[in-house]
């Protein structure tokens, strides 16, 4: 070894080159050992990751890339009894936003406006629905995009993370407002909905049946979602399908509703607020169910914003409210056939019992006058006359003789006071008052005078239009009853199999004599088919037999000292009487039973009966022979009434007010106003 690597410095002399080399060699050896140790460290960690935890990380990697995407099932269609479409699905491009994946929502919305027409209302609606759902769920901003809008958006889609245009199906109701209360509508699934539903059944779905048949038959209509596994990249874009499992479409419903009849009934009611229910008495199928005014279900399908919704809710005419099922009205004189049935069965009257009507009566020990709608009285009336002319005194006495307990027993059998159990949600049962009920609610004893009010369908007694139609159908069938229903048949689109919904018979009437019911029906025929009957004018030229009963339910009580009934036009609208009518036809082989209520429209015979006539014409004859529509009839009627009032005489054969209590048609329980003041 010699000194090499020559250096200019003088340190060479004292450098121990051999020692230096030896130190260096040991350092290299140590460094190599250190390298191996560190490699061992890396290797240990890699073994841990790649062997020990391999399964865990494989799962995580698959979770990363695989997206389970639900395939939304196609919602079942809804048809009427003749196969006319009531609810369908139409293709539509929708713009969906997944809130979780949008960094700056305001900015995104502002930029989207450059390509897609977005109104403030759309945004308000979107924000509301976004608030209600979880953030990872996509929310529709706009539906029914035009092809131009779709194209414009697609060209610029890279600018918008979390925004997607999807081709989807949108629920559509071809009849619009018509039958909206029966069909109902679908709407966005709310937080509250999520709380009770089975999430697995709603994968990929954003809407749920909110009302009507859409809600009651949600499970059949919905179908089962399928699923596909797609591989997606980090920004969530699906790249290829790995696996897919088809779901099943929802089942199609055939309603018992007759769309044509429904339209006729709606048209017949015109601009009046009220309800029409038509039932096939032979099986309980609902043929028409009208509640006016209506609403456009489209608003809810597209997602209604708070302001419009509030406007609908606060609308005084309550368009969302299904009057046919929820409206509880005093039945007025339409209760009389049922009251007569009770009186006949308990023999408090016979068909030929004569009662003298002098225009008013009093109860013993009271100065309170119970008046007939006919000031000067009907004279002597028997059952036929009392029903045909709607004499109040006859039924005051009948009710008085019966007593409230026996009235309850018979009326209860006809379904008053309890829900019918129809297959659409939200139904009220009306109120059939009893002694027990009054003690419970008012902590008071039952007064005999109250029984009298019940006798003419006033007082605490309230019914829904559906209940009235149902009770009428039962009378028509001479006591045999079926539960009313609107779903007629269900068809499975995959097999084509159609399953009919069997009529559900109700328990038979007990302790009632069928012959006596026949007597009542006979008197109801008088109403429609004989001159002097309160609905004769509406039915005189009908080519079929029919039986009915008019009613005029009092909204505001007449003051005791008031001699002359106020005219229709002299009364504020919300205090005017409700016009009611129940009927069925043909009398011997009934095929249709109808109940009509027109709120604040005046008299049953002149306003409500023509509506029923038109419905029956349409159903039995296939066309409307009755030419006058209800609202013009009402106008003519009120004009005539005004003239009559001015002349100081009662012209109309039917004006059965003078019920002593005050009622509104709204929710139960009725305003507390004891009969005897």
Partner 1 sequence: MNTHVLSRAPQQSVGLADQLAKLHIDLWLGLLLLALGVVGLLVQYSASGHSMAVVINQAERLGLGFGVMIIAAQAPPEFYRSAAPWLYGFGVLMLLAVLVLGDHAKGAQRWLDLGVLRFQPSEILKLAMPMAVAAYLHTRPLPPKPMTILVTLAIIGVPTVLIAMQPDLGTAMLVLAAGVLALYFGGLGVRWILLVLAAAAAAAPLLWYKLHDYQRNRVLTFLDPERDPLGTGYHITQSKIAIGSGGLFGKGWLAGTQAKLDFLPESHTDFIFAVFSEELGLLGVAVLMALYAAIVGRGLYIALRGQDSFQRLLAGSLAMTFFVYVFINMGMVIGLLPVVGVPLPLVSFGGTSAVTLLAGFGMLMSVYTHRKLLAN
CA gap 376, 82 in Å, rounded: 51
* Helix, strand, coil abundance in the chain, percent, nearest 5: 40, 20, 40
Nearer to partner 1, 51 or 647 (CB): 51
Site size for partner 1 (CB under 8 A):
47
The helix/strand/coil state of 443 is coil
Q: Is 540 in the site for partner 1 (CB under 8 A)?
A: no
Q: Is 231 in the site for partner 1 (CB under 8 A)?
A: yes
Q: What is the chain's alpha carbon radius of gyration, rounded to the nearest angstrom?
A: 38
DSSP 290: E
What residue has token string 């023999």? 347
Nearer to partner 1, 239 or 497 (CB): 239
- Phi (first) and psi of residue 475, to 5 degrees: -65, -45
User: Considering only residues 5, 83, 365, 648, which one is a binding residue for partner 1 as defined by CB under 8 A?
Assistant: 5
Q: Is 136 in the site for partner 1 (CB under 8 A)?
A: no
Q: Are 80 and 263 in contact (CB under 8 A)?
A: no
Torsion (CA) 81, 541, 548, 530 in degrees, nearest 10: -160
CA gap 447, 207 in Å, rounded: 52
Least separation in angstroms between residue 52's CB and partner 1 is 9
The helix/strand/coil state of 210 is strand
Pairing of strands 379-381, 369-371: unpaired
Q: Is 65 in the site for partner 1 (CB under 8 A)?
A: yes
Nearer to partner 1, 20 or 436 (CB): 20
CA gap 179, 388 in Å, rounded: 33
- Phi (first) and psi of residue 89, to 5 degrees: -115, 125
Pairing of strands 369-371, 360-362: antiparallel
User: Considering only residues 18, 106, 199, 234, which one is a binding residue for partner 1 as defined by CB under 8 A?
Assistant: 234
User: Considering only residues 106, 192, 235, 588, which one is a binding residue for partner 1 as defined by CB under 8 A?
Assistant: 235
HSE, side-chain direction, 13 A CA sphere, residue 407: 30
E strand map for 350-486: 355-357, 360-362, 369-371, 379-381
Least separation in angstroms between residue 59's CB and partner 1 is 8
User: Considering only residues 4, 192, 195, 502, which one is a binding residue for partner 1 as defined by CB under 8 A?
Assistant: 4
Taking contact as CB under 8 A, which single stretch among the options 119-127, 153-161, 234-242, 488-496 is the one that binds partner 1? 234-242
Please list every residue from 238 through 277 that binds partner 1, using CB under 8 A. 239
Q: Are 547 and 587 in contact (CB under 8 A)?
A: yes
Nearer to partner 1, 98 or 662 (CB): 98
Taking contact as CB under 8 A, which single stretch among the options 37-45, 361-369, 375-383, 475-483 is the one that binds partner 1? 37-45
Least separation in angstroms between residue 41's CB and partner 1 is 7
Q: Is 58 in the site for partner 1 (CB under 8 A)?
A: yes
Pairing of strands 66-71, 85-97: unpaired
Nearer to partner 1, 62 or 515 (CB): 62
Least separation in angstroms between residue 24's CB and partner 1 is 5
- Cβ-Cβ contacts under 8 Å for 629 (sequence gap 6 or more): 267, 268, 270, 610, 614
Instruction: Give residue 443's region: left, alpha or beta (phi > 0; psi -120 to 50).
Output: left
User: Considering only residues 49, 68, 167, 621, which one is a binding residue for partner 1 as defined by CB under 8 A?
Assistant: 49
Nearer to partner 1, 33 or 621 (CB): 33
- Cβ-Cβ contacts under 8 Å for 369 (sequence gap 6 or more): 360, 361, 362, 560
Q: Is 15 in the site for partner 1 (CB under 8 A)?
A: yes
Among candidate residues 333, 434, 638, 661, the one labeled active-site is 333
- Annotated active-site residue 545? The verdict is no
Q: Is 104 in the site for partner 1 (CB under 8 A)?
A: no
Nearer to partner 1, 65 or 591 (CB): 65
Site string for partner 1, 357-396 (x = CB under 8 A): ----------------------------------------
Taking contact as CB under 8 A, which single stretch among the options 51-59, 108-116, 277-285, 640-648 is the one that binds partner 1? 51-59
Residues involved in catalysis: 333
List residues binding partner 1 (CB under 8 A). 4-5, 7, 9, 11, 14-16, 19-21, 23-25, 27-28, 31-32, 35-36, 38-39, 41-43, 45-47, 49-51, 53-54, 56-58, 60-62, 64-65, 231-235, 239
């Amino acid at each position: 070894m010699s000194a090499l690597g020559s250096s200019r410095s003088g340190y060479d002399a004292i450098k121990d080159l051999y020692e230096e080399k030896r130190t260096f060699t040991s350092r290299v050896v140590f460094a190599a050992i250190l390298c191996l140790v560190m490699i061992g460290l890396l290797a240990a960690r890699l073994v841990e990751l790649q062997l020990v935890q391999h399964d865990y990380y494989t799962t995580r990697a698959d979770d990363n890339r695989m997206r389970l995407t639900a395939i939304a099932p196609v919602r079942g269609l809804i048809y009427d009894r003749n196969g006319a479409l009531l609810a369908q699905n139409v293709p539509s491009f929708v713009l969906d936003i997944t809130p979780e994946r949008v960094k700056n929502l305001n900015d995104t919305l502002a930029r989207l406006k450059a390509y897609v027409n977005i109104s403030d209302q759309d945004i308000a609606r979107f924000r509301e629905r976004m608030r209600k759902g979880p953030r990872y769920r996509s929310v529709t901003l706009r539906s029914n995009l035009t092809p131009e809008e779709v194209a414009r958006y697609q060209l610029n889609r890279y600018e918008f993370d979390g925004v997607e245009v999807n081709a989807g199906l949108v629920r559509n109701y071809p009849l619009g407002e018509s039958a909206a209360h029966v069909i109902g509508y679908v709407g966005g699934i709310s937080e509250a909905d999520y709380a009770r539903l089975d999430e697995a059944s709603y994968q990929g779905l954003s809407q749920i049946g909110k009302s009507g048949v859409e809600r009651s038959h949600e499970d059949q209509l919905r179908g089962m979602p399928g699923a596909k596994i797609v591989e997606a990249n980090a920004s969530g874009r699906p790249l290829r399908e790995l696996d897919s499992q088809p779901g099943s479409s929802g089942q199609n419903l055939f309603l018992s509703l007759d769309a044509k009849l429904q339209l006729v009934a709606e048209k017949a009611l015109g601009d009046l607020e009220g309800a029409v229910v038509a039932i096939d008495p032979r099986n309980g199928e609902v043929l028409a169910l009208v509640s006016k005014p209506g609403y456009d279900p489209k608003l809810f399908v597209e997602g209604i914003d708070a302001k419009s919704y509030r406007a609908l809710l606060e609308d005084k005419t309550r368009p969302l409210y299904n009057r046919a099922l929820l409206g509880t009205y005093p039945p007025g004189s339409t209760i009389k056939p049922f009251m007569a049935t009770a009186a006949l069965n308990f023999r408090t009257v016979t068909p030929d019992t004569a009662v003298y009507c002098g225009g008013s009566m009093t109860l013993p020990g009271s100065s309170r006058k119970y008046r007939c709608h006919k000031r000067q009285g009907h004279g002597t009336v028997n059952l036929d006359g009392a029903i045909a002319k709607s004499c109040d005194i006859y039924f005051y006495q009948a009710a008085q003789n019966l007593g409230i307990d026996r009235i309850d027993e018979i009326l209860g059998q006809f379904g008053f006071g309890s829900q019918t159990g129809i297959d659409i949600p939200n139904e009220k049962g009306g109120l059939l008052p009893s002694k027990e009920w009054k003690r419970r609610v008012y902590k008071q004893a039952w007064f005999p005078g109250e029984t009298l009010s019940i006798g003419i369908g006033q007082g605490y007694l309230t019914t829904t239009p559906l209940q009235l139609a149902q009770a009428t159908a039962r009378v028509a069938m001479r006591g045999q009853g079926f539960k009313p229903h609107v779903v007629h048949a269900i068809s499975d689109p995959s097999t084509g199999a159609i399953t009919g919904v069997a009529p559900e018979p109700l328990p038979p009437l007990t302790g009632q004599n069928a012959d006596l019911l026949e007597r009542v029906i006979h008197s109801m025929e008088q109403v429609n088919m004989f001159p002097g009957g309160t609905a004769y004018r509406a039915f005189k030229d009908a080519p079929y037999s029919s039986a009915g009963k008019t009613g005029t339910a009092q909204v505001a009580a007449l003051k005791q000292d008031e001699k002359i009934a106020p005219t229709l036009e002299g009364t504020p609208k919300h205090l005017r009487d409700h016009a009611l009518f129940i009927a069925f036809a043909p009398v011997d082989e009934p095929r249709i039973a109808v109940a009509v209520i027109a709120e604040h429209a005046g008299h049953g015979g002149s306003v409500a009966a023509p509506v029923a006539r038109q419905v029956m014409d349409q159903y039995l004859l296939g066309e409307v022979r009755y030419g006058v529509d209800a609202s013009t009839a009402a106008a003519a009627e009120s004009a005539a009434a005004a003239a009559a009032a001015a002349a100081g005489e009662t012209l109309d054969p039917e004006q059965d007010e003078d019920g002593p209590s005050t009622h509104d048609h709204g929710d139960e329980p009725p305003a507390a106003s004891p009969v005897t003041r």
